Structure 1
């Protein structure tokens, strides 16, 4: 019996061995072997995996018609029909790349982002901004530690790559924010009106930005507001210079939320403690409040509303540069309100984004002079502005990394200005825009963005067409390169339009080339750019304002021109050192312009040739404390005293005095401590902040004011050389401590 069983087993094994058919072949991609490809007979357990050269081989006892499949995560699955008989089979396969949302290269020259916002890299998160020493929690200040943004302390705005502060625009949920910065007086920069915690992220473009945005010659900052909060909470903030409180209420079904905040600030106490450079006759103070409402519809749509109101006051007294007066004084009374409503909804493969905003801004400036404690002159400048923006964008996904979008935008401006009854105007303009843009993903290694924007200005009575183009290619696993080109138009600044003038759009062309290496926790970026300016605004003076080196100026023509070119380097590293995040940026800028009242082509007084910034953050989990330090160096900017003289009855400009400012230096430090307050199971989050700006007390100079005859001058300096801030921020109802630790607060 044993002999018969053994014979039967041997017979079956021999039969099976005899019935096996060998299947082999090679799998390639662009004529190169591909390893780790799974090769299987469909609906069987037979198959193999390719080796490093792409070769495979296996045997099967199956017979007849079958399907041989080739699968790999990075390539499209291939199926081959085969007939298995007694003969050995050789099957080769040529793979095609699998287009992947994660693996696809992103167009990033000038920080142009991909069409899918989920993949768009947030340049600076709110935590980054709050923990950057010297930024004082302001988005615009934090951006000055990135390449391309100039450090200009005497005026608000983002001065990008040789552009003025008004040549960059800021958007919230797609809608333009008019008057993003608070009202101020000449020589003192206005602050951000908006709380950084309102936004969950930002995308900053230092050039070559998307066709969805316009009316900016230099760059754009796109802010995206937060959605529904995770939990209801109450927030408080207290410091020697401000008090604020707010709440967020989340609905029971977590489909809606609403909230409000109110705050008051006054610099008077700090003025008593520190030696200020600026003589404030009325310390800067402000009152602000905001409301928000967010609602998710049953069909997946999402509404957001945000409204803010703020008012601010200040008064400044400086020695007069004119011998007939002792003092020059200026006081400000400003008011502003802004409202933003947005809606987005998916309809199958379509995404609709609609947004509208309204803002009102009043700046009431009073200039006066004194002699022997008696008022000798008074000049008033009152400006009221109403601004409405509406925008609609419809996007259709083509595939995982390709999309087509288009839409239109309306931007209405109505401004009234009265200058001491000498100049009175009512400026109105409606800019109508239409745009179309497509993201094209040719492969995981090659993608492009092509856009076109058209605008019409009712005031100018003219139209423009602006093409935009960008291309990205992956050189190696972690290396990518990008190129961007675009035309950008912007209306002349309305504050200079004080009478009839035959004006046109101002224009700039951007050429940007970038090489970038990105790995986990590290990023290296090199960027070169060239900008060409045409049709820049030229102005003429109407009246001099004593003590401020200020003139009421009016638009004359569009004969200005200029260029800006440079190199930038950015390195960020979160991996090399435990609990340390640091970045280093360097910018080289070569720029010249003939615009405004410049008599010839000059290096702009807001452009520094070399700028270096370094930021380092060290978090100690055991102490729940973050130590933050930053340093900025900028080569001294040029300054000019531009005067006029009559030539055959015509006003001509000339440079009467010029020079270079001392180099700018500032070392800043801040400390963030997260103590435990209340009972262990109490949901609460507290941050104690200590911040010292310009800790070494460097005496930086922003420029010079000159007397009417040019024989006397005074330096434009920061209100205070070194500023110390101490504050506490407390939230009840939500515990963000662990999130803050994970984000290296």
Structure 2
């Protein structure tokens, strides 16, 4: 028995002496220990984990050269060759941080994402459709976000002291010409496209990527839906009109076609109007959307939209008798684009496409017919290469063809311009770590008509704190003047803006907080004498600035079933431009802007109740009866709106909304007579809303095999 025990003990000692003991410590590149790292011999089960001090040890029977693998979450895996023999091995390993795009810092200065794929979600299509007061309009919903100003008699996007023309709109990376519907003076417009088309958006209030250009203030990039969920038909019956959409889905492709019609005449016959309509606004639109999967990693989209509409209105002249000037507008519009994206080998990614916009306005001022035609062609190709997990380079080429013509038909007079613009942009993103990222870009361009070459640098930096992150962005931006001015003076060069933005951003437990300060410097703004309709002595002697702060808070957690956000923006903007002779606060840049949006779901009623309140501190205007420019200001603007969305059946939605429920008399400014009256004073008329309130009721029915499907499923 003693012999057997002695033999076993001897065998154990010999076996132990044949093993190799491996030990060491795991740290990061700064020498900080990494607990919980996995260390093992490749191809075996021999290994261990590091303790709280980063230390580890284990034994192996393997001999000769072996591969030691070290792995830890948040760090790049490392392989190290070791020589296994009878002697113990001490191996100290330093791991470098890996870049995890789900947890890494992102640039937020000047930017707001609104897509399902981004963690910094601000507005999704469903948010747009259910925001009280927006009435399903993309722009109206974005006016509840920081950095924007509500200009009630216009309807377009005004961002941080900039005019509406300073914002460019893109669909799938391709610019849209005349994105807002044509209208007459002081009658607000809205975007031509439905939120239902898009899966998300990128809204920049400044400091945006080198990929986008020809915009002094802002870029709004809308990304269309990829593959719809199912075959279905969607019927819309509304107080203003109706429409039908049919969607057909295959394994690798899909087609969606729709047609819509609206006519405000029945509504305006019931609701008393302050506008003197000769013919209420009416119109139609139709569109086709095509989707096609391309190989294993590609996608092609085609989208085509066409519409027509018109209105006739009498616009009373200040101090004059009668109904005033009769303005008749007929508009036809077409937009189409084809875009693609494709993932190539070796971490290459390609995207691009082509877009075409055509807008024709036939205007009759009393008995004077005028025709205006604007066209835009945009082609784009972008190649992106991920060289490492932390370094990517984007390269792009663009070609624009812009044309504009206007004609006085009775006098057979016509003038037109056509410009070719060529652009190149390059942008690099580098992650120093999961906490620090830098993005630098350079955009160049050349205009054949202006005979001008330009170069605009952009730079962004972001650092992740223990709570939230800090971002900084700066850059130069160029934009050629409006075509209606360039047709009068073709050698007009770029207007300029320089942006500086500092941002703090925090997302935690379904709560979002965003604070941002900004400073913009304007230069080479267009100036002229005379009126907007007949400008004279056109030059580029204007300049100005815009500075301020934005605050945004959104909360989906604190109150059960409730989503709300609060916005406040302070904008101090002054500029010398147009016919102004001094630095003035523009009428489209109120100093104080705010909004509160609340949505609450009531399960028992199968309803979502919503309210929104938007306000600003008032609009500046010039009173010619007093000395100076822009020396007066209207009372504050305020609009309280309510909405109710009800699902009586899973495939039926009833939506009702009413804007300005308190009936506040909002005034946006005053129009004055061109000449003083007998007493030496200039007569005036207020510029206000067409009606105190606007009410909407819609019935939306989805027809499909899935009786639980409705129009919300794709949003």
Q: What's the TM-score, normalizing by structure 2?
A: 0.92
Specify which of 691, 698, 704 is matched with residue 720 of structure 1: 691
Map of 1:441 onto structure 2: 431
Alignment CA distance shift 1:11-1:233 (3 Å): same
Q: How does 1:662-681 map to 2 (within 5 A)?
A: 662-676=635-649
Map of 2:357 onto structure 1: 359
Q: Contact between 1:674 and 1:737, CA under 8 Å: does it hold in 2?
A: no
CA offset at residue 410 of structure 1? 1.7
CA offset at residue 195 of structure 1? 1.4
The answer to whether structure 1 residue 460 and structure 2 residue 450 are counterparts is yes
Q: Contact between 2:444 and 2:455, CA under 8 Å: does it hold in 1?
A: yes
Q: 2: distance between equivalents of 1:79 and 1:502?
A: 63
Map of 2:162 onto structure 1: 163
3-state SS, counterpart of residue 127 of structure 2: helix
Q: Contact between 2:198 and 2:223, CA under 8 Å: does it hold in 1?
A: yes
CA offset at residue 62 of structure 1? 6.0
Q: Contact between 1:621 and 1:741, CA under 8 Å: does it hold in 2?
A: no
Q: Contact between 1:147 and 1:585, CA under 8 Å: does it hold in 2?
A: yes
Q: Contact between 1:123 and 1:202, CA under 8 Å: does it hold in 2?
A: no
Q: What is the number of residues matched between the two proteins?
A: 707
Q: 2: distance between equivalents of 1:434 and 1:169?
A: 18
3-state SS, counterpart of residue 446 of structure 2: strand
Alignment CA distance shift 1:79-1:686 (3 Å): same
The answer to whether structure 1 residue 708 and structure 2 residue 706 are counterparts is no
Map of 1:564 onto structure 2: 546
> 325-334 vs 484-493, which deviates more?
325-334
The answer to whether structure 1 residue 277 and structure 2 residue 266 are counterparts is no
CA offset at residue 85 of structure 1? 5.5
Q: 2: distance between equivalents of 1:20 and 1:197?
A: 67
Q: 2: distance between equivalents of 1:257 and 1:69?
A: 47
Specify which of 340, 345, 348 is matched with residue 343 of structure 1: 340
> 152-161 vs 56-65, which deviates more?
56-65
3-state SS, counterpart of residue 189 of structure 2: coil
5+ residue gaps, structure 2, are: 677-681
CA offset at residue 121 of structure 1? 4.9
Q: How does 1:128-143 map to 2 (within 5 A)?
A: 128-143=127-142
> 560-569 vs 392-401, which deviates more?
392-401
CA offset at residue 50 of structure 1? 2.3
Alignment CA distance shift 1:334-1:592 (3 Å): same
Q: 2: distance between equivalents of 1:729 and 1:516?
A: 37
Q: How does 1:281-296 map to 2 (within 5 A)?
A: 281-296=278-293
CA offset at residue 19 of structure 1? 7.0
The answer to whether structure 1 residue 329 and structure 2 residue 326 are counterparts is yes
Q: What's the Cα RMSD here? A: 2.9
The answer to whether structure 1 residue 688 and structure 2 residue 670 are counterparts is no
Q: How does 1:633-648 map to 2 (within 5 A)?
A: 633-641=615-623
3-state SS, counterpart of residue 338 of structure 2: strand
> 392-401 vs 479-488, which deviates more?
392-401
Q: 2: distance between equivalents of 1:164 and 1:440?
A: 34
Map of 2:239 onto structure 1: 240
> 310-319 vs 19-28, which deviates more?
19-28
Q: 1: distance between equivalents of 2:507 and 2:181?
A: 37
Specify which of 516, 519, 524 is matched with residue 530 of structure 1: 519
CA offset at residue 362 of structure 1? 1.5
Q: 2: distance between equivalents of 1:354 and 1:736?
A: 38
CA offset at residue 493 of structure 1? 0.7
Q: 2: distance between equivalents of 1:734 and 1:199?
A: 24
Q: Contact between 2:244 and 2:258, CA under 8 Å: does it hold in 1?
A: yes
Q: Contact between 1:640 and 1:659, CA under 8 Å: does it hold in 2?
A: yes
Q: 2: distance between equivalents of 1:588 and 1:365?
A: 38
Alignment CA distance shift 1:581-1:4 (3 Å): farther
Alignment CA distance shift 1:433-1:554 (3 Å): farther
> 291-300 vs 182-191, which deviates more?
291-300
> 303-312 vs 588-597, which deviates more?
303-312
Q: Contact between 1:428 and 1:459, CA under 8 Å: does it hold in 2?
A: yes
Specify which of 312, 317, 321 is matched with residue 320 of structure 1: 317
Q: 1: distance between equivalents of 2:630 and 2:220?
A: 36
Deviations 1:384-404 (A, max 9, x none): 222222222222222335322
Q: Contact between 2:401 and 2:421, CA under 8 Å: does it hold in 1?
A: yes
Map of 2:632 onto structure 1: 659
3-state SS, counterpart of residue 269 of structure 2: helix
Deviations 1:579-629 (A, max 9, x none): 222111111111100001111000111101111111121123343311122
Q: 2: distance between equivalents of 1:220 and 1:37?
A: 44
Map of 1:261 onto structure 2: 258
CA offset at residue 130 of structure 1? 0.7
> 692-701 vs 44-53, which deviates more?
44-53
> 24-33 vs 53-62, which deviates more?
53-62
Alignment CA distance shift 1:37-1:689 (3 Å): same
Map of 1:592 onto structure 2: 574
Map of 2:534 onto structure 1: 552
Deviations 1:367-388 (A, max 9, x none): 33xxxxxxxxx44432122222
Q: 1: distance between equivalents of 2:641 and 2:170?
A: 29
CA offset at residue 321 of structure 1? 1.1
5+ residue gaps, structure 1, are: 369-377, 543-549, 644-652, 678-684
Q: Contact between 2:310 and 2:329, CA under 8 Å: does it hold in 1?
A: yes
Alignment CA distance shift 1:697-1:343 (3 Å): same
CA offset at residue 351 of structure 1? 2.5
> 657-666 vs 598-607, which deviates more?
657-666
Q: 2: distance between equivalents of 1:19 and 1:657?
A: 93
> 605-614 vs 321-330, which deviates more?
321-330
> 82-91 vs 303-312, which deviates more?
82-91
Alignment CA distance shift 1:491-1:71 (3 Å): same
Q: Contact between 1:611 and 1:635, CA under 8 Å: does it hold in 2?
A: yes
Q: Contact between 2:404 and 2:487, CA under 8 Å: does it hold in 1?
A: no
Map of 1:200 onto structure 2: 199
Specify which of 594, 605, 609 is matched with residue 627 of structure 1: 609
CA offset at residue 738 of structure 1? 7.5
3-state SS, counterpart of residue 272 of structure 1: helix
Q: Contact between 2:355 and 2:378, CA under 8 Å: does it hold in 1?
A: yes
Alignment CA distance shift 1:734-1:486 (3 Å): farther
